Chains A and B, each alone.
Chain A
Amino acid sequence: MALPAAALFFVFHTVPALQGLFYSFTDSRGYGSWDFVGLDNYVRLFQDGDVLDSYVFTLGFAVVSTFAANIISILLALALSANIRFRSFMRSVYFLPAILSVIVVSYIFNTIFSTGVPQIGKALGIDWLSTNILGSPDTAWIGVVIVTVWRYCSTITVIYIAGLQTVPEDVVEAAHLDGASAWRRFWSITVPLIAPFFTINILLSFKDFVQVFDQIVALTEGGPGNATQSISFLIYRAGFAGGEFGYQSANAVVYFVIIAVLSAFQIRFHRRRETAA
């Protein structure tokens, strides 16, 4: 039963992955003839301004978004787990973005940023709000972060809510009775107990954000210029339409190695933090 599945998996996943690795050593355009170029592609990658820029943007974007999204989400989770009124309704509202398609959401925000927000900015006389933040290479990335955080906080929050539900009430009660402030209760008791959920959320959200694609397509198409060209987007655009099949395959291999290394690093970091707590 498992073997046919493994066979299918091999054919549709492993084979392409190995092919990608193979073609990274060629100058293939995706069609027609090609030649082996050994490590040429890899050497070129490290000298390619576009490629380096995309790594800087993507990693920077992923770090900022992971940070922002997780901080907002844990706060939301705490609020949505507290004894508030209309709790079910609130949770439903805050989870709504999670079921919306990322690319449609991004198209909507594209229009909001380009027309809606500037209108408000002009009406209120606020300078920096009066232009399309997606139009300037310095601020476009902020727009992508905003959309990403808006769309992804929901899932992250729900996972934190699940985590908070695993905290036994009596432990928190005991601390409260002992006179510990809410702040102290949070840091010394709740946080260590939900440590695995921090790990999962940070790991998964970082991995997702590093692969950002839909938002780029709909918000900026990598622009202005190449300011918001994420790694996936570059591989897609240059590898597909641009005919740089072999070259971008090398890029993809480097990409994979970096993600694997960062993930391993993160797992070790979190493991250490979890056992220490």
Chain B
Amino acid sequence: MNDSRAQSISRWLLTALLAIGSLTIAIPLYFTVVTALKSPSELRGNLWAPPQDPAWSNFSDAIETTGFFQALGNSLLVTVLSIVLVVVTNSLVGYAIARNLHKRLYRGLFVYFLTALFIPFPIVMLPLVKEMAFLGLGNLTGLVIVYVVYNLSFNVLLYVGYMSTVPVSLEEAAMLDGAGPFATFRHVIFPLLTPVNATVAILTGLWVWNDFMLPLVLLSDQAQFTLPLVQNVFQGRFTTQYNLAFSSYILALTPMVLIYLVFQRWIIGGVMHGAIK
């Protein structure tokens, strides 16, 4: 009796503590929303007070100034393409390596891909930019290529790990029926990879959508800039116009927040599974 009352109290206490802790997350977000809806004169007043008259026009101003829809389109294009290509190609590579680990060449390839995980981007950054410019790839296409290639290291780890749980007998049956390796992969293996594909898709999507450094160094044409990059570019324009700047930030954050609200469980699950591997 005593024990369960104590448990009930500690339960509520913990809940309350977490609720208070969540203020650390809520307050900056509150500040963001509130500032985005203020008129210029209110910016000189109490910054923590809600706006007198929500200035919804700030959003349309921000959209116009930063070319929001174009940047949104660029981000969407790069992210979707990257996810699709990553899932299709990285899984193939993972499959090839997993099924050939008994051969030295493939073991070597595996290690080769993994070592890149420890190479910090700055050492590759400067020469890569020159190389991409030289190949005429200083654009969204080049960006996608880099994302697909650079994700290989971590994803190969995920796929090889997962492949060890897929019995070889299924492929053998398919081969006996006359299917070649690609067909076997497409019809037998790939459908089985759905859980790890989901994890890879989510982790890739999160990274690519929010990435700032790669677009910053690789892209030169402003019309191709992605959402995070656009925020940086227009800082100079906004200077003290916090209301417009914050409207822009909210616009930039909203797509991911919406996706998160709908797909929360998958996203959190995806991150967890990625880590366990």
Chain A residues within 8 Å of B, Cβ to Cβ: 1-2, 5-6, 8-9, 12-13, 15-17, 19-21, 23, 30, 76, 79-80, 82-86, 90-105, 107-109, 111-112, 115-116, 119-120, 150, 155, 158-159, 161-162, 197, 200, 207, 210-211, 213-214, 217-218, 231-232, 235-236, 239-240, 245, 248-249, 252-253, 255-256, 259-260, 263
Interface of B is mostly: helix
- Closest chain-B Cβ to A51's Cβ sits at a distance in Å of 13
- Closest chain-B Cβ to A274's Cβ sits at a distance in Å of 16
C-alpha spacing A139/B237, complex, angstroms? 27
Of A83, A107, A249, which one neighbours B231 at CB under 8 angstroms?
Answer: A107
B149 close to A252 (CB less than 8 A)? no
A9 close to B231 (CB less than 8 A)? no
B232 close to A235 (CB less than 8 A)? no
- Closest chain-A Cβ to B252's Cβ sits at a distance in Å of 5
A103 close to B212 (CB less than 8 A)? yes
C-alpha spacing A59/B260, complex, angstroms? 33
B268 close to A95 (CB less than 8 A)? yes
CB-CB under 8 A from A2, the residues of chain B are 92-93, 96-97, 100, 106, 109
C-alpha spacing A86/B19, complex, angstroms? 10
B271 close to A159 (CB less than 8 A)? yes
Contacts A1-B181, A96-B260, A259-B118 aside, 10 further interface pairs with beta carbons under 8 A come to A2-B93, A79-B18, A86-B15, A95-B264, A100-B256, A108-B31, A111-B246, A159-B272, A239-B126, A248-B126
B25 close to A94 (CB less than 8 A)? yes
Of B96, B149, B232, which one neighbours A9 at CB under 8 angstroms?
Answer: B149
B122 close to A79 (CB less than 8 A)? no
Quick one: CB contact mask for B57-87 with A, threshold 8 Å, 1 for yes?
0000000000000000000000000000000
Name which of B93, B113, B124, B242 has the most chain A CB atoms within 10 A of its CB: B124
A90 close to B22 (CB less than 8 A)? yes
Of B14, B149, B249, which one neighbours A82 at CB under 8 angstroms?
Answer: B14
B123 close to A92 (CB less than 8 A)? no
Quick one: CB contact mask for B16-51 with A, threshold 8 Å, 1 for yes?
011101101110100110010000000000111000
CB-CB under 8 A from A115, the residues of chain B are 47, 242
Residue of A nearest to B227 (CB): A101
C-alpha spacing A6/B90, complex, angstroms? 11
Name which of A1, A94, A150, A259 has the most chain B CB atoms within 10 A of its CB: A1
C-alpha spacing A214/B253, complex, angstroms? 16
A76 close to B21 (CB less than 8 A)? yes
B125 close to A235 (CB less than 8 A)? yes
Residue of B nearest to A86 (CB): B15
Residue of A nearest to B13 (CB): A84
C-alpha spacing A84/B124, complex, angstroms? 47
A13 close to B228 (CB less than 8 A)? no
Quick one: CB contact mask for B224-267 with A, threshold 8 Å, 1 for yes?
00011001100100000010011001001100110110001001
23 sample A-B contacts, Cβ–Cβ < 8 Å, listed by A number = A17-B119, A17-B124, A20-B126, A80-B18, A84-B14, A94-B21, A96-B260, A99-B257, A102-B212, A108-B31, A111-B245, A116-B47, A150-B28, A158-B271, A162-B276, A210-B120, A213-B212, A235-B125, A236-B217, A252-B122, A252-B123, A260-B118, A263-B118
